[in-house]
A = this chain, B = another copy of it.
Amino acid sequence: MDAHLKEIQKDSRQVYDGHFLKVQKDTIVLPDGKESIREYIKHPGAVTVLPLFDDGSVLMERQFRYPLDRVFIEFPAGKIDPGEDTLECAKRELKEETGYTASQWEYVCTIHNAIAYSDEHLVLYVARGLKEGEFLDIYKAPLSGLLEQVRNGQITDVKTVIGVFWLEKILSGAWTPPARPAGV
């Protein structure tokens, strides 16, 4: 049903290869036969961990984000290494960023955060059975407080907003986390 929307690659080249960002510039053919340009970031993808305590509270981070010159409230997250399984990545990032480990892991969802100019995807997992770490700038927060911070605009990072909404669905029993899809 979507053939009339498809854009076909005619030429593809890397136009910037930086410390972190890689920019691709492709010539494409539109459905009407005309040519156009598409520029986008090549990204390996990332994981986000929703660390959930038995009492229903959640482990959060505060992180300075230079592009926006301020601190964001976030779930722990990080980029997928080449060839790394997303669940292994989630376990590694939780440990590296918070010092915590978890005994139970469930896939939650996959999201695409900048579809106009990046191929990044984020895979979200819930982590339960948390064992304590002791890093700075992490803290426990009740889900009700996080929802209030989404509502009043104190939480705006998309992976965190979406994780908070999903946790509400999961903890209320309205939604059960789905099976982890093949290829994720």
A residues whose Cβ falls under 8 Å from a Cβ of B:
2, 5-7, 15-16, 18-21, 23, 25-26, 28, 37-41, 62-68, 70-72, 74, 109-121, 137, 150-153, 156-159, 161-162, 165, 169, 175, 178, 181
> Given the complex, which residues of B lie within 8 Å of A41, measured CB to CB?
21, 41, 67, 117
A60 smallest CB distance to B (angstroms): 14
**In-complex Cβ contact of A63 among B5, B72, B181 (8 A):** B5
How far does the alpha carbon of A116 sit from the alpha carbon of B15 in the complex, in Å? 20
> Given the complex, which residues of B lie within 8 Å of A153, measured CB to CB?
109-110, 178, 181
Q: What is the chain B residue whose CB lies nearest that of A5?
A: B64
A15 & B15 in contact (Cβ 8 Å cutoff): no
A40 & B67 in contact (Cβ 8 Å cutoff): yes
This protein's copies in its complex: 2
How far does the alpha carbon of A152 sit from the alpha carbon of B110 in the complex, in Å? 10
A64 & B178 in contact (Cβ 8 Å cutoff): no
Q: With contacts A109-B153, A162-B162 known, is A38 near B62, CB below 8 A?
A: no
Q: What is the chain B residue whose CB lies nearest that of A176?
A: B151
B117 & A67 in contact (Cβ 8 Å cutoff): yes
Q: What is the chain B residue whose CB lies nearest that of A63?
A: B5
* 10 interchain residue pairs of minimum CB distance: A40-B67, A5-B64, A165-B165, A158-B158, A65-B115, A16-B16, A67-B119, A38-B66, A2-B71, A21-B39
> Given the complex, which residues of B lie within 8 Å of A40, measured CB to CB?
21, 66-67
Instruction: Identify the interface centre among A39, A114, A151: most chain B CB within 10 Å of its CB.
Output: A114
B23 & A64 in contact (Cβ 8 Å cutoff): no
A121 smallest CB distance to B (angstroms): 8
A117 & B63 in contact (Cβ 8 Å cutoff): no
A150 smallest CB distance to B (angstroms): 8
